[in-house]
Protein backbone atom coordinates (compact mmCIF):
# COMPACT_ATOMS: atom_id res chain seq x y z
CA UNK A 1 0.00 0.00 0.00
CA UNK A 2 1.35 3.43 -0.94
CA UNK A 3 2.04 5.86 1.85
CA UNK A 4 0.20 9.19 1.57
CA UNK A 5 2.29 12.33 1.98
CA UNK A 6 0.76 15.54 3.21
CA UNK A 7 -2.81 16.15 4.33
CA UNK A 8 -5.15 15.10 1.52
CA UNK A 9 -8.05 16.88 3.24
CA UNK A 10 -6.55 20.37 3.06
CA UNK A 11 -7.61 22.92 0.48
CA UNK A 12 -5.45 25.93 -0.24
CA UNK A 13 -7.13 29.13 -1.33
CA UNK A 14 -5.75 31.70 -3.75
CA UNK A 15 -6.40 35.45 -3.97
CA UNK A 16 -7.80 36.73 -7.28
CA UNK A 17 -8.50 40.31 -8.32
CA UNK A 18 -10.94 41.24 -11.04
CA UNK A 19 -14.41 42.44 -11.93
CA UNK A 20 -17.81 41.01 -11.03
CA UNK A 21 -20.02 41.44 -14.10
CA UNK A 22 -23.17 39.76 -12.74
CA UNK A 23 -24.33 38.87 -9.25
CA UNK A 24 -27.42 37.18 -7.76
CA UNK A 25 -27.65 37.59 -3.99
CA UNK A 26 -30.46 35.03 -3.58
CA UNK A 27 -28.50 32.32 -5.37
CA UNK A 28 -25.17 33.68 -3.99
CA UNK A 29 -23.58 33.36 -7.44
CA UNK A 30 -21.35 35.79 -9.33
CA UNK A 31 -19.81 35.98 -12.81
CA UNK A 32 -16.17 36.97 -12.37
CA UNK A 33 -13.52 38.14 -14.83
CA UNK A 34 -10.01 37.79 -13.42
CA UNK A 35 -7.50 40.55 -14.18
CA UNK A 36 -4.99 39.54 -16.86
CA UNK A 37 -6.91 36.45 -17.99
CA UNK A 38 -8.52 36.93 -21.40
CA UNK A 39 -12.09 35.69 -21.56
CA UNK A 40 -12.70 33.01 -24.21
CA UNK A 41 -16.13 33.82 -25.71
CA UNK A 42 -16.70 30.11 -26.34
CA UNK A 43 -16.29 29.24 -22.65
CA UNK A 44 -19.00 31.49 -21.26
CA UNK A 45 -18.80 33.21 -17.89
CA UNK A 46 -16.78 31.88 -14.98
CA UNK A 47 -19.31 31.49 -12.16
CA UNK A 48 -18.32 31.50 -8.49
CA UNK A 49 -20.46 30.44 -5.56
CA UNK A 50 -20.09 32.99 -2.73
CA UNK A 51 -19.98 31.18 0.61
CA UNK A 52 -18.23 33.95 2.52
CA UNK A 53 -19.52 34.36 6.07
CA UNK A 54 -17.59 37.63 6.32
CA UNK A 55 -16.52 40.22 3.80
CA UNK A 56 -14.65 43.50 3.64
CA UNK A 57 -16.07 46.71 2.21
CA UNK A 58 -14.10 49.27 0.19
CA UNK A 59 -13.36 51.28 3.38
CA UNK A 60 -11.67 48.25 4.99
CA UNK A 61 -14.48 47.44 7.45
CA UNK A 62 -14.98 43.70 7.96
CA UNK A 63 -18.59 42.54 8.13
CA UNK A 64 -19.17 39.18 9.82
CA UNK A 65 -22.96 39.25 9.99
CA UNK A 66 -23.41 36.91 6.97
CA UNK A 67 -24.93 39.70 4.86
CA UNK A 68 -24.28 39.69 1.14
CA UNK A 69 -21.44 42.06 0.16
CA UNK A 70 -22.86 45.47 -0.75
CA UNK A 71 -20.65 45.73 -3.85
CA UNK A 72 -22.35 42.59 -5.19
CA UNK A 73 -25.95 43.40 -4.18
CA UNK A 74 -28.61 44.72 -6.53
CA UNK A 75 -30.45 48.03 -6.10
CA UNK A 76 -33.24 47.99 -3.52
CA UNK A 77 -34.85 44.55 -3.37
CA UNK A 78 -33.53 43.44 -6.76
CA UNK A 79 -31.61 40.15 -6.36
CA UNK A 80 -29.52 40.66 -9.52
CA UNK A 81 -26.83 43.25 -10.16
CA UNK A 82 -25.02 43.81 -13.43
CA UNK A 83 -22.97 46.71 -12.08
CA UNK A 84 -19.32 46.09 -12.74
CA UNK A 85 -17.53 46.14 -9.39
CA UNK A 86 -13.87 45.53 -8.66
CA UNK A 87 -13.24 42.88 -6.01
CA UNK A 88 -10.56 40.70 -4.53
CA UNK A 89 -11.71 37.14 -3.88
CA UNK A 90 -10.12 34.39 -1.81
CA UNK A 91 -11.11 31.27 -3.77
CA UNK A 92 -10.77 27.53 -4.11
CA UNK A 93 -11.44 25.44 -7.19
CA UNK A 94 -13.03 22.03 -6.69
CA UNK A 95 -12.70 19.28 -9.28
CA UNK A 96 -16.20 17.98 -9.85
CA UNK A 97 -14.85 14.83 -11.53
CA UNK A 98 -15.15 13.73 -15.10
CA UNK A 99 -14.51 16.06 -18.00
CA UNK A 100 -16.59 18.91 -16.57
CA UNK A 101 -15.29 22.28 -15.49
CA UNK A 102 -14.25 22.74 -11.86
CA UNK A 103 -16.55 24.39 -9.31
CA UNK A 104 -15.33 27.83 -8.26
CA UNK A 105 -15.97 28.90 -4.66
CA UNK A 106 -15.39 32.38 -3.18
CA UNK A 107 -14.50 32.02 0.49
CA UNK A 108 -14.01 35.73 1.15
CA UNK A 109 -14.89 38.93 -0.71
CA UNK A 110 -13.08 42.27 -0.47
CA UNK A 111 -14.93 45.08 -2.26
CA UNK A 112 -12.45 47.42 -3.95
CA UNK A 113 -14.95 50.07 -5.10
Work out the angle at residue 2's Cα, subtended by the Cα atoms of residues 9 and 14, and round it to the nearest 5 degrees.
30
Non-local (6+) Cβ contacts of 26 within 8 A are 79
| Half-sphere exposure for 11 (CA within 13 Å, toward CB) | 12
pLDDT at 98: 67
pLDDT at 97: 72
Q: In CATH, what is the architecture of 14-36+43-111? A: Beta Barrel (2.40)
Sketch the domain layout of the chain as residue ranges.
14-36+43-111
Q: Is 34 in contact with 18 (CB distance < 8 Å)?
A: yes
Q: Is 31 in contact with 49 (CB distance < 8 Å)?
A: no
In the predicted model, residues of the chain with pLDDT beneath 50 are 1-5
- Best CA proximity match to 52, nearest among 105, 88, 111: 105
pLDDT at 8: 61
pTM above 0.85, yes or no: no
pLDDT at 3: 43
Residue-wise pLDDT for 63-73, tens only, equals 998 789 999 99
Amino acid sequence: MAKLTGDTHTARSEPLTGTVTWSNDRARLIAFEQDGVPRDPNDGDTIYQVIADNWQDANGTIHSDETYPTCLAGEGDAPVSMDRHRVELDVIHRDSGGAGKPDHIALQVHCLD
